[in-house]
Amino acid sequence: MVNTQIRHYDAIIIGAGFSGLYQLHLLRDRLKLNCIVLEKGEGVGGTWYWNRYPGARCDTESHAYTYFFSDEIFNEWEWSERYPGHAEIRKYLNFVSEKFDLKKDISFKSEVIKTSYKQNDNKWFLETSDDLFYSSKFLISAVGCISTANIPKIRGLDKFKGSYFHTGNWPKNDVNFEGKIVGQIGTGSTGIQAVPVIAETAKHFTVFQRTPNYSVPARNKPLSKDFKKYVKENFNDLRKTVKKTPNGHAFLISETLVHEVDEKERLKRYENAWEKGGLQFRGTFKDIISDKRANDTASEFIKKKIKEIVKNKEYAQILTNFDHPYAGKRPPIDTNYFETFNRENVHLVDIRNDPIKFIDEYGIATEKNYYNLDLIVFATGYDAMTGSLIKLNITGENNLKLEDYWKEGPKTYLGLQIPGFPNLFTITGPGSPSVLTNMPTAIEQHVEWVTDCIKYMIDNNYEKICTTDKKSQEWGKEVNEAANKTLLPTVKHSWYLGANIPGKPQVFMPYAGGLPVYKKICDHVKNNNYDGFVLT
């Protein structure tokens, strides 16, 4: 029998990843609100709860991929590698949860399936997959930006007799590739991490690549004692750096323009950055992301490196046949990705020139060939930024469905609120810097802003906050203008634009003006009694 009893809270938070955990801590422990987190997974982690695919690792360096709000956490926790692996990130979030005793207020295995705002009560009502009902005045979505897996609709997939997995929904019990004939579709950041690891044990491994991807070596390694000591001793400086850099990382972006130096100097700087490895490669010069001519120099450099690594000339050609600027898509970093194509058991298929036609019981058919497979890995990305919000099945004022309201693309003010959806806050929502930054830095800024806003409402006896259509239109313009100063909107199939999902409206979603500029705007709004929001 369904238990229709409604559990009432001051605030409900959806999702127990970096955002949800910190939001719970601030609302419950600082504002003393009665809160609950509803989480689909069986444990904390959010995106990292599901991302367990081979090679899954964060591409932000561990000393920056961390909460900075608590000296105590920072001092007590020690990362083991330059880039944290998925299991270690879960361990970290469990550590944080225990530190603040968060789990007692998280309901696991509770997927939110329906979310409605009732005007008369000024309350949100939620229904979960475990047939429970909840209500609250404030609702905070902390569902992550890249958490709704996209498996492309390929004819015949349902007939496939082998197994198939999406990297973002990887089974908890590791998948065994030993002796298997494996195919992988997708060579984004995720695919590039998975390929070298799967190739180690698969009997035969075919990588189906649609768009070649630039990748720079991660140069991952265990952290030395000295580096760990340096991190602890420089907590304040690191915190200052992540807060002042446009991408929220712990490295600075060069102030030099590409053409301010001669070719010899330019190559030297690229070479150093390549040797150092990591995302900071794109910070070698100031204008790599904004000027096509500057970008071409980075692109040519990486192309040359790939051609030096990959022995098979045909593969090298397929892997470097770029039609987009470097870092125009999220730039991957890798551990032996290109080297893997020198292995005898690895085969590369260019599906831009030989597209996939269908899948049948035994494998994948392209226009020109057929590939027998035991197992298919879909590293095909996500319905990013909006997918997980729409999946919550949200209805706002006047029975307005979020899905309908966003038919032509997401409309928000600051990525924090949606007109017509009062008292709902979207952590790292579309229109905020989010995926263009180191996520925990962007998350901390949002969570703190939301907490201050709720506190302001409580202190001033406001019951309801909502932004307006006018404000969201103005902000949409700013998001576009910021994007148009970069090369990012020029890229085909980019998930920043929603262009990776057939039929999804193509609107550039994250705010590309940089985290410090964005924070200044948010602070200005806050310091002007939440200008741009209607408080009643």
Q: Which helix (H) or strand (E) holds 38?
A: strand 35-38
Residue 282 vs 411, nearer CB to ligand NA7: 282
Q: Which residues bind ligand NA7 (CB under 6 A)?
A: 146, 152, 185-191, 210-211, 330, 351, 379-382, 493, 495, 500
Which is it for the CA torsion 227, 95, 111, 117, positive or negative? Answer: negative
CA 22 to chain centre: 17
Three-state SS sequence of 231-286:
HHHCHHHHHHHHHHCCCCCCCCCCCCCHHHCCHHHHHHHHHHHHHHCCHHHHHCCC
Q: What is the DSSP-derived secondary structure letter of residue 190?
A: H
Task: Collapse the DSSP code of 208 into the 3-class scheme (helix H, G, I; strand E, B; otherwise coil) and give the result.
Answer: strand
Residue 129 vs 506, nearer CB to ligand NA7: 506
Residue 152 vs 505, nearer CB to ligand NA7: 152
For the chain, the residue count is 536
Least CB distance from residue 193 to ligand NA7, whole Å? 8
Residue 108 vs 165, nearer CB to ligand NA7: 165
- Please state at what angle helix 515-527 crosses helix 235-244, rounded to 10 degrees: 80
Least CB distance from residue 491 to ligand NA7, whole Å? 9
State how far the Cα of 216 lies from the Cα of 281, in Å rounded to an integer: 7
Least CB distance from residue 531 to ligand NA7, whole Å? 33
Least CB distance from residue 427 to ligand NA7, whole Å? 16
Residue 461 vs 503, nearer CB to ligand NA7: 503
Residue 149 vs 453, nearer CB to ligand NA7: 149
State how far the Cα of 390 lies from the Cα of 401, in Å rounded to an integer: 9
Residue 185 vs 289, nearer CB to ligand NA7: 185
Please name the residues in contact with 413: beta carbons below 8 A apart, sequence gap of 6 or more. Answer: 419, 431, 467, 468, 471, 472, 475, 532, 533
State how far the Cα of 414 lies from the Cα of 525, in Å rounded to an integer: 10
Least CB distance from residue 187 to ligand NA7, whole Å? 4
Residue 188 vs 431, nearer CB to ligand NA7: 188
Residue 287 vs 350, nearer CB to ligand NA7: 350
Residue 373 vs 457, nearer CB to ligand NA7: 373
Least CB distance from residue 144 to ligand NA7, whole Å? 10
Least CB distance from residue 332 to ligand NA7, whole Å? 7
Q: What is the DSSP-derived secondary structure letter of residue 51?
A: -
Least CB distance from residue 146 to ligand NA7, whole Å? 5
Residue by residue, DSSP assigns 329-371 as SPPPEESSHHHHTTSTTEEEEETTTS-EEEEETTEEEESS-EE
Please name the residues in contact with 277: beta carbons below 8 A apart, sequence gap of 6 or more. Answer: 216, 217, 218, 219, 220, 333
Contact 213, 320 (CB under 8 A): no
Least CB distance from residue 139 to ligand NA7, whole Å? 26
CA 198 to chain centre: 23
Least CB distance from residue 61 to ligand NA7, whole Å? 14
Contact 32, 436 (CB under 8 A): no
Closest residue to ligand NA7, based on beta-carbon distance = 188
Least CB distance from residue 327 to ligand NA7, whole Å? 11
Among 354, 429, 419, residue whose Cα is nearest residue 388 = 429
Contact 55, 104 (CB under 8 A): no
Residue 187 vs 451, nearer CB to ligand NA7: 187
Least CB distance from residue 46 to ligand NA7, whole Å? 13
State how far the Cα of 56 lies from the Cα of 218, in Å rounded to an integer: 13
